[in-house]
Amino acid sequence: MKALLSLLALLSVGYARAEEPLPVTLTEVRVDVNGDGLPDIVSIRMTAGRRTNDAEPWCGMGDKYEGTFVVSVNILGVETVTELNSLYPPRTALWFWAAPWSLAVSDYNHDGLIDFNLGQYGACQGWIYSLFTIERSGKVHLLPTTGAFGGVFNGDRGNSSFFPLTRRGFRNLRFDQTKQVYVEEQWEWKQQQNRFVVAHTRHASELDPK
Ligand SMILES: [Ca+2]
Ligand SMILES: [Ca+2]
């Protein structure tokens, strides 16, 4: 009996769990989006797809949601929904870790509108974070960068990462595989180019792994 249970447990790994009713809310944050002083609700939801425990041995293995996602912005009971997948460069699918997480909301480009970021697998050394902004109406747009896949490569490997703000943008830490050092990047928003660019870099040699 014990052997049978072990076999069943083994077989269940890598298969979709029991279906959860859609949409599934992955995370939700209260933040004032339209500047009226009242908190609004920003949610990330999966509208189609599955929850799966990926047992393949790679840096993206684990319990995750994979499929089609939206961001919902609820302002005084009025909901605006923006599809997320189409805001990304073409990919096979988006996925997010199933474990509880917080959406990193901040004003990364200092224009007074709330922004947030979402991470997707980049490499074992980090995830690629795309930045998005929320109009006062609740509509969401991508804030492109000059980085890989129009995002920011960061040593974090979570669904969303809090980038420390700087005077003109935000700070990011990534691992340079070629030079085997951590690099600190200062990202700034360039209005004329309509994207974030790296304004300064610094090798964070004191953080070199030894
Ligand atoms: Ca509000
Ligand atoms: Ca902003």
Measure Cα distances from 78 to 44, 67, 81, 128 in Å: 16, 25, 10, 31
The tokens for 85 are 């997948």
Reduce the DSSP state of residue 81 to 3 states and report it: strand
Angle at 176 between CA 201 and CA 85, to 5 degrees: 90
Q: Which residues make up the environment of ion ligand 1, defined by Cβ < 5 Å?
A: 32, 34, 36, 38, 40
Q: pLDDT of 57-76, one tens digit each?
A: 999 999 999 999 999 999 99
pLDDT tier for residue 5 given thresholds of 50, 70 and 90: very low
| Confidence bin at 86 (pLDDT 50/70/90) | very high
Residue type, 130: S
Phi/psi at 7 (5° precision): -65, -45
pLDDT at 188: 98
* pLDDT at residue 74, rounded to an integer: 98
pLDDT tens readout for residues 28-68: 999 999 999 999 999 999 999 999 999 999 999 999 999 99
State in Å: Cα 164 to ligand 1 middle.
24
Distance 42 CA to ligand 1 centre (A): 11
